[in-house]
């Protein structure tokens, strides 16, 4: 433990072996070092963006046990939006000042690659300034399994048709023994990382998530972060790390507990310490609530994600996030916490500092 504390004190990288000991430290020791790092990168700034989530379909060929969003017997409301419906959402959200659409679909066998490309093009032709964050590595892998599309070709087309950045979804937990129990058949960890690497090699940026608080052990979370750290050392393509607190309602996992705040904050602090090469740690308010996401800003996080407007994935699992948050709410909360609100774009360029 003394070696670990010495390294933390000296601001040295925590090597792989020592990283597995981080959860043995108490929350406030972790917070001290995580906050130091957060402060050195971002000072008192807390970032957020004006975004809109769009989930065009919930009909899924995969059967992830943690998921409450996909249409199944606990959520028997299958839907598949038309391009016109999606464009109507985009037209409306633009009026409200949205700068990013975050488009994630379930793995629908009837959804052709052409269908995806057409909607990206429609959005970009009409609103060239709107940032399109779309296509998780899990969706790219599904296109390969369903239609035999090679990752490289899919990525080329994403760029050609206007996708600006990739979201971090589908990472879940990289450990293969856990993965087989919670999302057997979906993109493998190796391929998730490979797809992001290919995207980064094109000079593009993406995010990385980690779904935690289900059946995984603490060591699996550390392993997950270390695999991301290794890729980031190589490519520098990840903008943000987003630890997603698993929401347990309507799932097919036999887990009754929901993580407590201490464990969530510890995980955020550890992420800030281990992922010394990823600039931004999001406290995703949709999975931990706005209040805890604000507290997390003192435990290593520097971002709240965005307004979202309509949230369907986590709210299906019980989160109180279905209707998004107002930009003014972020600003007020951050100001009253004696921190500095900063509206950013999707690539973390500052748009407005509310000094
Ligand atoms: O990959 C599914 C997760 C992810 C549940 O890149 C659940 O900026 C909690 O990736 N409880 C999709 N999580 C969302 C996602 C995301 C969200 C915000 C920002 C970004 C970004 C990416 O949602 C899935 C899965 O890991 N998820 N079900 C659930 N019950």
Position of tokens 């709107």?
A: 130
CB 246 near ligand 1, within 6 Å:
yes
- Residue 101 near residue 310 (C-beta atoms within 8 A): no
Residue whose CA lies nearest to ligand 1 atom number 16: 169
Quickly count: other Cβ atoms within 10 Å of residue 339's Cβ: 18
State yes or no: pLDDT of 185 exceeds 80: yes
C-alpha 314 to ligand 1 mean position (Å): 7
CA distance 14 to 7: 7
Taking CA atoms, 345 is separated from 44, 68, 131, 304, 330, in Å, by: 18, 30, 8, 13, 15
Q: Which atom, in ligand 1's list, is nearest to the CA of 67?
A: 28
The pLDDT > 90 percentage for the chain reads 96
State yes or no: pLDDT of 43 exceeds 90: yes
CB 22 near ligand 1, within 6 Å:
no
C-alpha 104 to ligand 1 mean position (Å): 10
C-alpha 162 to ligand 1 mean position (Å): 22
State yes or no: pLDDT of 1 exceeds 80: no
- Residue 167 is predicted with a pLDDT of 98
The pLDDT > 70 percentage for the chain reads 100
C-alpha 244 to ligand 1 mean position (Å): 6
Domain 2-353 in CATH 3.40.50.300? The answer is no
CA distance 225 to 278: 11
State yes or no: pLDDT of 75 exceeds 90: no
Q: What is the mean pLDDT of the chain?
A: 96
Name the residue of 168, 208, 308 to mutate for ligand 1: max ligand atoms within 8 A of Cβ.
168
For helices 285-295 and 327-336, what crossing angle results, to 10°? 30
Name the residue of 100, 313, 317 to mutate for ligand 1: max ligand atoms within 8 A of Cβ.
313
C-alpha 242 to ligand 1 mean position (Å): 9
Q: Which atom, in ligand 1's list, is nearest to the CA of 250?
A: 30
Q: How far is CA 344 from the centre of its chain?
A: 16
Taking CA atoms, 16 is separated from 24, 34, 229, in Å, by: 15, 17, 10
Q: Which atom, in ligand 1's list, is nearest to the CA of 318?
A: 30
Tell me the pLDDT tens digit for each residue of 242-286. Answer: 999 999 999 999 998 889 999 999 999 999 999 999 999 999 999
Range with lowest mean pLDDT among 1-5, 66-70, 194-198, 329-333: 1-5
Termini Cα distance of the chain: 41
Report domain extents, the chain.
2-353
Residue whose CA lies nearest to ligand 1 atom number 28: 67
Residue whose CA lies nearest to ligand 1 atom number 10: 169
C-alpha 230 to ligand 1 mean position (Å): 22
Give residue 149's pLDDT band: very low, low, confident or very high (50, 70, 90): very high
Give residue 208's pLDDT band: very low, low, confident or very high (50, 70, 90): very high
Residues in Cβ contact with 105 at an 8 Å cutoff, skipping those fewer than 6 apart: 55, 56, 57, 111, 116, 139
C-alpha 49 to ligand 1 mean position (Å): 17
- Residue 262 is predicted with a pLDDT of 98
Give residue 229's pLDDT band: very low, low, confident or very high (50, 70, 90): very high
CB 305 near ligand 1, within 6 Å:
yes
Strand order of the β-sheet with 238-245 is 206-212, 238-245, 280-281
pTM, two decimal places: 0.97
CB 287 near ligand 1, within 6 Å:
yes
- Residue 355 is predicted with a pLDDT of 84
Kindly provide the b/e burial profile for residues 157-167, where b requires at least 16 CB atoms within 10 angstroms of the residue's own CB.
Answer: bbeebbbbbbb
Q: How far is CA 73 from the centre of its chain?
A: 26
Strand order of the β-sheet with 350-353 is 303-306, 45-49, 340-344, 350-353
State yes or no: pLDDT of 73 exceeds 90: no
Alpha helices per DSSP H over the chain: 2-9, 16-19, 27-42, 83-95, 113-126, 137-147, 151-160, 176-183, 189-201, 218-235, 261-274, 285-295, 313-316, 327-336
CA distance 301 to 46: 8
Please calculate the CA angle 107-151-276 and round it to the nearest 5 degrees: 90
CA distance 125 to 122: 5
Q: Which atom, in ligand 1's list, is nearest to the CA of 319?
A: 11
Tell me the pLDDT tens digit for each residue of 276-328. Answer: 999 999 999 999 999 999 999 999 999 999 999 999 999 999 999 899 999 99
């Amino acid at each position: 433990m003394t070696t670990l504390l010495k390294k933390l004190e000296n601001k040295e990288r925590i090597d792989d072996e020592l990283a597995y000991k981080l959860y043995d430290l108490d929350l406030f020791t972790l917070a001290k070092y995580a906050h130091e790092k957060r402060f050195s990168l971002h000072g008192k700034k807390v970032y957020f963006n004006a975004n809109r989530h769009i989930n065009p379909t919930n009909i899924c060929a995969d059967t992830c046990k943690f998921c409450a969003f996909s249409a199944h017997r606990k959520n028997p409301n299958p839907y598949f939006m038309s391009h016109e419906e999606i464009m109507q959402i985009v037209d409306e959200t633009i009026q409200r000042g949205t700068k990013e659409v975050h488009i994630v679909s379930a793995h629908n066998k009837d959804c052709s690659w052409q269908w995806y490309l057409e909607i990206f093009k429609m959005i970009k032709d009409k609103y060239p300034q709107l940032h399109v964050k779309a296509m998780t590595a899990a969706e790219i892998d599904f296109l390969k399994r369903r239609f035999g599309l090679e990752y490289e070709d899919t990525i080329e087309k994403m760029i050609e048709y206007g996708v600006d950045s990739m979201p971090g979804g589908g990472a879940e937990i990289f450990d293969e023994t856990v993965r087989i129990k919670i999302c057997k058949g979906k993109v493998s960890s190796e391929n998730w990382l490979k797809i992001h690497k290919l995207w980064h090699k094109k000079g593009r940026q993406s995010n990385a998530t980690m779904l935690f608080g289900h059946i995984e052990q603490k060591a699996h979370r550390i392993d997950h972060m270390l695999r991301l750290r290794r890729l980031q050392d190589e490519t520098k393509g990840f903008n943000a790390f987003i630890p997603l607190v698993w929401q347990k309602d309507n799932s097919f996992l036999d887990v009754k507990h929901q993580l407590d705040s201490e464990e969530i904050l510890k995980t955020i602090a550890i992420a800030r310490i281990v992922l010394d090469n990823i600039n931004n740690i999001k406290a995703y308010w949709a999975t931990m609530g706005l209040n805890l996401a604000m507290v997390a800003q003192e435990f290593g996080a520097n971002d709240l994600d965005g307004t979202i407007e309509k949230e369907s994935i986590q709210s299906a699992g019980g989160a109180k996030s279905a209707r998004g948050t107002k930009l003014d709410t972020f600003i007020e909360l951050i100001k009253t916490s004696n921190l500095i609100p900063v509206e950013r774009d999707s690539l973390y360029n500052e748009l407005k500092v509310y000094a």
